[in-house]
Structure formats: structure tokens, C-alpha cells
Structure 1
């Protein structure tokens, strides 16, 4: 059985600006000679993590203010402690992982810890101060080397600049989402109404501005390395670990960037989700932009192109693909395009993926 499984996802994204650059313009990339829409892998990871942690309650914290979190936790555990030595020990603990203090004009160095690790750090300070052992010096023992109980940290990995022995290799590889066809970026002119002026039957707006948006059919992929996941995630095998794995896979499917999500409500159900066991992790590409077919739209061409590439890939190297393969989605003709594959519900696909992860 192979250690990799790739989840391929095709989604239609209507009028939106889910991921923008520093000028507010939707991110884009030139590929195959045309302009494509782009959602960065970082923004997708953030979306997956947010949905997973909301669903599972398995919380982690990524911030440049974790020293304050450790201080607050220690004082909650023992309010009688003197805040000054608590602050010193917390700075020393976090400083072992990253730069202690940002230089003037610099932002604080962001690091990523699970709630369990934050609680352990706070308890370490309480125990040290209660036993007068604060002079023993800070320790990184509140973090396991190469392991964590956080699924999100397991999935996406982390790096500590000052303590590489505590780095974690990501168990998931996440591609950017790129439109399968050429896109245009359109400008929307908007104004902010003034209720009091309207009530007095006066004209004029409080604010005038412009925003930019795009739309398209996007393809992305996520590869799970189950060997790395099992090596890193300390909660593997716990009673609730299966439920957490299910929440992770579901979040992979629904995880999207979140820019202007409330003002555009752009999320749609995926047209296609294809999970494939693989010896070497590979995805598909749309280097040649697809063209609209029939009455219009790029979805039909996109699904057909992916189905064609899947067939050609197996003809090229059938040994790269394992027996686990699962297909789901809202596109109406999936069974016809992917001959020999049964179309299941999303839960059925999730069950297949989780069973593959759990299988030794």
C-alpha cells in the first residue's frame, strides 16, 4: 500500500475576490499563454485549518503574541504568582523558539503552538516558580521533538527559527488553486449611502470607491502522506482520532480562501472530488487552457480534460496508482466521464480516505 493519496478538486467560483494582492487585485498567474485566476496555497491552508478547528475543537494558536498567552495561562493557574518572574520565564521559553524581542519598527515573530503546548508551558512556569526553580533556565520540554497533538500543525508543518530540533514536516502538500481557463479581472464601482441624507431627500454618498473581482472554474490538489501523519500526530489511535480525520478530509474539500467572503458569498459545492492512492504524489495540470463548450461555461471542458488526463496517466504508469480510488461531486455526468468508477457521496469518499489512512 502506498503512503500518498491525492485529492483532486474542481470547483466553480463565481463573482469573488477570495485572495488578493497588496493592491486589492485578485491574485493571478500567467500560464499556458493566458491570464489565470490564482488562490495561493497559503490562503487555502488557512481556510482548511479554520474549518477543521471549528469543526473539531482541536485548537492551535499562531501569533506574535504567544508570550502574553503563556503569561495569562500561568496567572490563571496561580493568581498568587508575581507577574514579573512569570513574564521573564515566559519570554525565555518563547525566546528559545524564536527571536525574543522584535527590533524597533519590526513586527513580532509569529510562531505556532497547539493549545496543549501553551497550557504545558504555563504549567511549567507555575511549577518552576512554586518550587523556586526559576533559575534552572528555560526548557523546550513543553514541546515534543517532531511530534504534536495538533492535527493542523501535523497537516501543515511548522518551523522554529531558533529551535530546528522542534520543527515538524508537513503531512499534507497543498497546491494553489488555478483557473483552468483564461480569466478577466473586472472592476466594480460602489458607493456608501447616507441614511440621514436619504431621509432628508438629499443626494450624495458618504464614500465612493472601486473593487476588483473575477470568477472561474478552479482546480487544486491536496496530497496526504499518511506515514508522516502517523509519525507526527500524537493523537493517532485515540478514541476521537477517526472523527478528527474525517473532519480534516471534509475541511480539505471545503477549505477555500476567505477574502471578501461575506460581501460575495462565493462558495459552491465542488463539481468533482477525486481521491487517488499513489506511490509518488502527482496531480494534474491544465497548461493548455480549456475552452467553453456548447451553451457556454468551462466546467464541462474541465471535467472532460481531467478525466482524459487520469486515463492517460494510468496508461503511462499504472504502477503509480494504488487500488484506493474514490469519486464524488455535483457534476451531472461524472459516471460517464470516469468509466469504471462508481460515484459516491462526499461522506462515502471521506470514509474511503480515512479507511486508507487507518490501514497499516
Structure 2
């Protein structure tokens, strides 16, 4: 049974005028690739959209929270316990601060508040937060009072226990996307999923939407003949936008995911959730303004046992067309996939294709065509079955 199993996800998706991912000046993000300026959506933006979609795909116990308010999460767990229910709020917070500090996470006073927050955003699973609360409650029950519990949580043994809590019980999103704690690398979790920045498969520039807004009451008063004589707009502004057909890519190290979660069953559910969320999600920047609610024209999922392989090179030479890009992009992708397999002597173990109309037909040589409704479950089951149960 092989232990080298990768799932590559390739997506072609057309997005109409939109500004789903902005830089610090409000302009749509971009990058130069192949010598031309392309539209770009950062990996962080699409990972965030994917994690948000997990709320509808995974139970709370299998999800994490990225926050500075870890103390609040632990406080809630302490308060829900029978022992902690009788404590005052300040005592609960003292216990929560003590146990979170014992993990090695550095705490600092929140701005304009007495609340203690972690120095940086930390992705913590619901299971880890509950386990920290249980550790604090156990210390309280053993010591008999809050002061004694705090002293216990400050011992070397308790610190080891607290650190171990954050080294196990990973949620699906924590196992997929990882965690980095700069001041304590023992708390780091290696990501088992990589997500590329989405790039347009053609040159793409920025355009400007000049808009005005009317003051409803002023308009009414002028209609009624008030004589104000002010025909000016109530507001004038511009919004930058772009439109593009994007190539999106992500890959999962299935063996590493199973090990990070400690369960083949949970890994399978995680892959189903990731494939569903990554393909169907959309970053929400300016979505109410542009309503850019599209689904991909094509999705290719490849199961590999050699290494993860992106097909972005298919678009290093930008596509030039006045009749659309998706169909030409699919043909380029299919041709490039075959050329890579021939040149390097590597080929996916199996590939699945979902495509709309002629775009899907252009990818017939890449893999078996089907419906996305059944693809995530089928792919996850086959991929996880190739990996041994974790010890």
C-alpha cells in the first residue's frame, strides 16, 4: 500500500467585473506572469472563503477558530463545566489566562480593554480549546481554589500538558492550512494543503467605475418646487475593478492529512469538505456591488503518487482572444497535462473532470468526466483508502 498520495485540484473560472481581492490602495490585486500583467486573487483570500464555507459542511467540533481571543474560548469552556459554573467571571478569566499562558502562547492586553489576547492570530480547534478548559478545571478541583490552581498551572509539568493539548486534536482546517506561532515553534502545525494564488490566463487590466449617488430627500424637494436649485449629486466616487478567467490550483498531501487528524474517517470528511468549499466558494470583496457569483467552467482533480504538479505553465504564454477564454484555456490545459506526462514520464493515477458544455469536452483526454455532485465523495474515498490507518 503506497503512502505517497496527492490530490491536485485545477480550476478554470470566469469572473465578471469584480474586485474580490484588493490591495492596500483598493485596487484589484495583480501580478506579472509571462511578461504581462494578470489579475490575481491571493491564496489567503480563497483559503478564507474556503474556511467560511466549512461552517455549512463540517460540525463545529471539527472546525477551528482563527482568533486572538483564545482566552475567551477557554473561559467559555470553564464556565460550562460544573466546577466552573460557580466561579465569578473574573476568576474564570484568571484561570483561562493561566492555562493559555501555560501553552507558551504569549498574551498581551487588548487595545481599549482589560481583556488578555494572544499576541498574534492563532488557529485553534474547538477540541483544543475544550481540552485547555478541562485542564484548568482539573487544576482547580485538585487545588481547591483559584490561586492554587493558577500556581499549579504555572508548574513545568502543567506547561508540558498544556503544550501537548495544542499539539493534538487538530481540526480539519487546522490540519489543512496549518498554524505558525513565531515565538514558539513547538506549537506550529505543518499545512497538508497548498493553495496557489489564482491568476488570469490572459492579460488583464484595471478599469474604473465612476458613480454618483442621489440624495433622495433633496431630489424630492426639487420635484416639489422648493427652489433649492442644487442639481449636484449627493456623493461621487470611483471603484476599481477587473474581469478575468482564472486558473486556480490547490493540492493536498493525503497521507500527511490522515496523520495530522489521526483518523482516516475524519480525513475523508475533510477532503470532501475542502473540495466542495474550494471549488464552490468565492471571496466576498465588493460582492454586493458586482454580484460576481459564478461557478467554475471546469474542474480537474488528479490523484497522484509521484508529486504535486501545477499546470499553471499552460498559461505562461497569455491567451489572446476576442471570443472568450474558458474554452481555449481548457484546450491549453489538456494539451499541457499530456506534455508534462510525456516529458517527465509521470502521469496521474486517476483524474476526474467536471466541465460545462464544450469546455468539459475539451478536457476529455485529461480524465473521466462526471458531475461535481458526486465527485468530492468519490475522490475522497479512493484517496484515503490508499493510506494506512495512523498508528
Could you tell me the TM-score, scaled by structure 1's length?
0.90
* Runs of at least 5 residues in structure 2 that lack an aligned partner in the other structure: 144-148, 224-230, 387-391
Q: Hey, what's the Cα distance between the residues in 1 that align with 2:220 and 2:26?
A: 33
Q: How many residues align?
A: 355
User: In structure 1, how many angstroms separate the alpha carbons of the residues matched to 2:13 and 2:85?
Assistant: 51
Specify which of 348, 353, 364 is matched with residue 327 of structure 1. Answer: 353
- Would you say 1:60 and 2:64 are equivalent positions? yes
Aligned-residue RMSD, C-alpha: 2.5
| Residue 191 of structure 1: how far off its partner (Å) | 2.6
Give the Cα separation in 1 of the matches to 2:142 and 2:309.
Answer: 54
Q: In the alignment, which residue of structure 2 is the partner of 1:248?
A: 274
- Tell me which residue corresponds to 2:252: 224
1:62 and 1:337 map into 2 onto residues whose CA distance is: 38
How far apart are the structure 1 equivalents of 2:30 and 2:369?
A: 32
Paired with 1:147 and 1:67, the residues of 2 have a C-alpha distance of 18
Name the structure 1 match of 2:199.
Answer: 178
Match of 1:291 in 2: 320
1:98 corresponds in structure 2 to 105
For residues 281 and 302 of structure 1, what CA distance do their matches in structure 2 show? 21
How far apart are the structure 2 equivalents of 1:75 and 1:166? Answer: 26
Give the structure 2 partner of residue 31 of structure 1.
Answer: 33
Q: In the alignment, which residue of structure 2 is the partner of 1:237? A: 265
Task: Give the match's secondary structure for 1:141.
Answer: helix
Q: Distance in 2 between matches of 1:93 and 1:340?
A: 52
* Matched-pair contact (CA < 8 Å) for 1:4–1:280: yes
- 1:20-46: CA deviations, max 9, x gaps? 001110000111121100000111111
**SS across alignment from 2:358:** coil
Q: Residue 14 of structure 2 is aligned with which of 8, 12, 15?
A: 12
Q: Which runs of 5+ in 1 are unaligned?
A: none
DSSP-derived class of the 1:8 partner: strand
Answer yes or no: is 1:112 the counterpart of 2:123: yes
Residues in 2 aligned to 1:107 and 1:211: alpha-carbon distance in whole angstroms: 36
Most deviating of 196-205 and 284-293 = 196-205
Q: Which residue of 2 aligns with 1:257?
A: 283
Q: Using a 3 Å threshold, how does the CA distance of structure 1 residues 23 and 256 change in structure 2: closer, same or farther?
A: same
Aligned with residue 315 of structure 1, among 316, 339, 342: 342
Give the whole-Å Cα distance in 2 for the aligned partners of 1:273 and 1:186.
28
Change (3 A) 1:229 1:164: same
Post-superposition CA distance 1:83-129 (Å, at most 9, x none): 44432332233333432216989994211111122222223222322
Higher percent of residues as helix: 2
- Other structure's SS at 1:245 match: helix
2:235 aligned residue (196, 201, 207): 207
C-alpha displacement at 1:141, in angstroms?
3.2
Q: Is the 8 A contact 1:192 1:205 kept in 2?
A: yes
Aligned counterparts of 1:107 and 1:26: Cα–Cα separation in 2: 31
SS at match of 1:38: strand
Aligned mates of 1:107, 1:212 — CA distance in 2: 36
Rounded Cα–Cα distance in structure 2 between residues aligned with 1:83 and 1:284: 54
Checking the alignment, whether the CA contact within 8 Å between 1:189 and 1:209 is kept in structure 2 is yes
Larger Rg: 2
